[in-house]
Chains A and B, each alone.
Chain A
Amino acid sequence: MEIFGIPHQAFLGQLMLGLVNGAFYAMLSLGLAVIFGLLDIVNFAHGALYMVGAFAAWIMLDKWGVGYWWALLLAPLLVGAFGVVIERLLLKRLYGLDPLYGLLLTFGLALILEGAFRKEYGVSGQSYSVPEALAGATNLGFMILPNYRAWVVVASVAVCLATWFIIERTRLGAYLRAGTENAKLVQAFGVNVPLMVSLTYGAGAALAGLAGVLAAPVIQVTPLMGSNLIIVVFAVVVIGGMGSILGSVITGLGLGIVEGFTRVFYPEASNIVVFVIMAIVLMLRPAGLFGKEA
């Protein structure tokens, strides 16, 4: 049996791989969408925070023998705390100014972080092994799927759902949305809005860190891993509609799959297919697929 001229086994295999990559895109763009949607910050440091998350996991294991499962909890907390510090020390001063300042600040931060890690660890990359419980692979009939990659899909879908639920369906989420719409009014009700903003940025950073830990066993942990990914992730957010959480998750998964198939049919284009789609989407729907027209 063939689908689009390729054997159905290979087709299903590529679909699966696209889903795995899409899960990464979804999780990273989710953090970006949360930060942009609620705080209006174009967070160019997101890729660097993702890289820091992966390095944190690697350093924990290498220096202190702290394993994968603890790293999964600790590294995002660490990156999240770092995010709070960034917000308190730097970003806070830029609210009310043109968002361009925030973009430049976070971009500069990303360069500094990347440069510092490059100086210390070089670019070749550190290897981080798949945790024992998830080692091995399962034969799905149409392909051999490493257990770890299946776990990545499950974990990231769970995180995406949880984030969406907290922001759209809980009281905390309601405060958050209200606080970013009209800070003064919400503050009058006794809610500490600046703290909430800091924690939101921290949570976005923690999501990037978590994605970093999940990625560490799959790719080499290198200072460049964030900058390699960040542009694609931004494209995902733009296609999904800036700030739309559901949009970024669905677009992330979808683009992972599209990219996977491009690798089969015309591998040379796999690095740019996302941008071609972005151009087409923006022509037809300037606010993105799930964005609200301003």
Chain B
Amino acid sequence: MKFKTLVAAMALGLGSLAATAQNNGPVRIGFITDMSSLYADIDGPAGAEMIKWAVQDFGGKVLNRPIEVLTADHQNKADVAASKAREWIDSQNLALLIGGTSSGTNLAMAGIAKEKKRPFISIGAGSARLTNEDCTPYTIHYAYDTVALAKVGGNALVKGGAKKWYFLTADYAFGHSLEADATTVVKANGGTVVGSVKHPLNASDFSSFLLQAQGSKADILAMANAGGDTINAMKAAKEFGITKSMKVAGLLVFINDVHSIGVANAEGLQVADSWYWNQDDDSRKFAKRFFDKYKRMPSSLQAADYSATTNYLKAVQAAGTTDTDKVMSTLRGMKFNDFYHKNGTIRADGRMLHDMYLFQVKSAKESNTPWDYYKLVAKVPGEQAFTTPAESKCSLLKK
């Protein structure tokens, strides 16, 4: 009997010891993104570094616990992302999960975060499904989404005279979302969609698709794809003389893409984005620090990586705990003001509302300094840029 009590006491002691260790152990932030494939430059290793910078600048500690950043490459595979997220939450007691680029992987991570009740901030994924039909109480969609791209970029194109649209769409969650959202905007503005073609992700040759687009007699070839796919398609469009008969526009173009295409080839292109490095002094300061290390300018996603991490840590500090529900409710009550966005708020569906911008690529003559590519055309407030509560299919928004 005595022996049993002893064992029980020891077990209890060990148990409580483990519990204290968990509360005093490091606060772990896990970041899963494309580290090596076609989206690695717009987010990737540099994005991971931004999260580490944010942690460093915060002092490396929150609630007197050290902060640890874990990173992983999801290789654009949803199952890889999901199993990594699960592993970290189960064995590392992850406090926050951050998702980088690629919609499929982020939708999978949102599912895991919901099941395990952990905050999940999606930065680089485009699909508006994250805060629409697939919304969860634990997802925050931070930077942009396909609805905003369609409303800000698509709107400007239709009003600029592009009435007949043809889509060149990447064949996965993001491309499908973007095409659907842009179609809604085109139709609402009296335009028509005359056709579309879906291409595999990371396609090397676009000439066949472009030839089909040319046969459609549309005014505009809208590319619902991203990164290397957009660059290769634009390049081929120019080579095959498509740019002479129709306007070619990318619905999601990052500054790295403009750099790759070359300012001479991209001149006049209209780009919807959530942030640009040369928009104000705070942004330029951040950009300079980034440039000194990477010899290129940060993308809006890399800026958002930094901003999201900092704001999460502020929320933890304010809530006095890493408990998911308390941190989430603190985040929902905050106003976000930093170099990335002004007066940002998080809506019940998880959508971060902040200004979106429409930029136009400068001509080679206007571009004075390296990476000086954009001029501002319009600033669209978050309430107008993103899904409105009336349009939303998210149950969390319905009262």
Residues of A within 8 A of B (CB): 7, 9-10, 13-14, 17-18, 20-21, 118, 122-127, 130, 137, 143-144, 146, 148-149, 218-220, 222, 224-225, 228-229, 260, 263-264, 267-268, 270-271
CA distance in complex: A268, B239 (Å)? 24
Task: Say how far A128's CB is from chain B's closest CB, in angstroms.
Answer: 10
Contact of B261 among A18, A127, A264, A267 (CB under 8 A): A127
Whether the Cβ atoms of A220 and B202 lie closer than 8 Å is no
Partner of B198, one of A144, A229, A268: A268
**Interface pair A124/B204, CB less than 8 Å apart:** no
Bound-state CA distance A74–B227 (Å) is: 31
Chain B: residues with CB nearer than 8 A to chain A? 36-42, 44, 171, 197-200, 202-205, 207-209, 211-212, 215, 227-228, 231-232, 235-236, 239-241, 256-257, 259-262, 265, 296
Choice from A10, A125, A137, A267 contacting B215 with Cβ under 8 Å: A10
Is A220 in contact with B260, judged by CB distance below 8 angstroms? yes
4 other A-B residue contacts (CB within 8 Å) besides A137-B241, A144-B241: A17-B207, A130-B239, A267-B209, A268-B171
B40 partner residues in chain A, CB cutoff 8 A: 118, 122-123
Which chain B residue lies CB-closest to A24?
B205
- Asked if A125 and B199 make an inter-chain contact with CB atoms under 8 angstroms apart, the answer reads no
Residues of A contacting B203 in the complex (Cβ-Cβ under 8 angstroms)? 270-271
A140 to B76, CA, bound (A): 40
Inter-subunit contact B171/A264 (CB<8 Å): no
Contacts of B228 in A (CB 8 A): 123-125, 220, 222, 224
Q: Which 5 A-B pairs have the closest CB atoms?
A: A263-B208, A271-B200, A124-B41, A124-B260, A122-B41
- In the bound complex, CA of A263 to CA of B197 (Å): 9
Instruction: Report the Cα distance A225→B39, complex, angstroms.
Output: 14
Contacts A146-B240, A228-B202, A264-B208 given; indicate if A123 touches B37 (C-beta within 8 A): yes
In angstroms, Cα B211 to Cα A17, docked, is 9
Q: Do the beta carbons of A118 and B36 come within 8 Å of each other?
A: yes
List, in ascending order, chain A residues with CB within 8 A of B265's CB: 127
Known: A144-B241, A271-B203. A124 touches B231 (CB 8 A): yes
Q: Is the CB of B239 within 8 A of A127?
A: no
Q: Give every chain B residue within 8 A of A220 (Cβ-Cβ).
A: 228, 231-232, 235, 260
A219 touches B235 (CB 8 A): yes
Residue of A nearest to B36 (CB): A118
Asked whether, in the complex, the Cβ of B260 is within 8 Å of the Cβ of A127, the reply is yes
Nearest chain B residue, comparing its CB with the CB of A222? B228
- Residues of B near A143 (CB, < 8 A) are 211
A9 vs B256: C-alpha distance when bound (angstroms): 37
> What's the least CB distance linking B259 to chain A, in Å?
7
The answer on a CB contact under 8 Å between B262 and A127 is: yes
Could you say which residues of chain B place their CB within 8 Å of the CB of A9?
A: 215
Q: Which chain B positions have C-beta within 8 A of A130?
A: 239
Contact A124/B200 with A14-B211, A17-B211 known, Cβ cut-off 8 Å = no
User: Could you say which of B171, B198, B202, B257 contacts A124, with CB atoms under 8 Å apart?
Assistant: B257
A219 and B207: CB pair below 8 A?
no
CB pair A263 B209 closer than 8 Å: yes
Q: Is the CB of A219 within 8 A of B205?
A: yes
Interchain CA distance A218-B239 in the complex, whole Å: 8
How many Å from the CB of B199 to the closest CB on chain A? 6
Listed residue (A124, A130, A143) with the most chain B CB atoms within 10 angstroms of its CB = A124
**Measured CA separation A43–B44 after assembly (Å):** 30
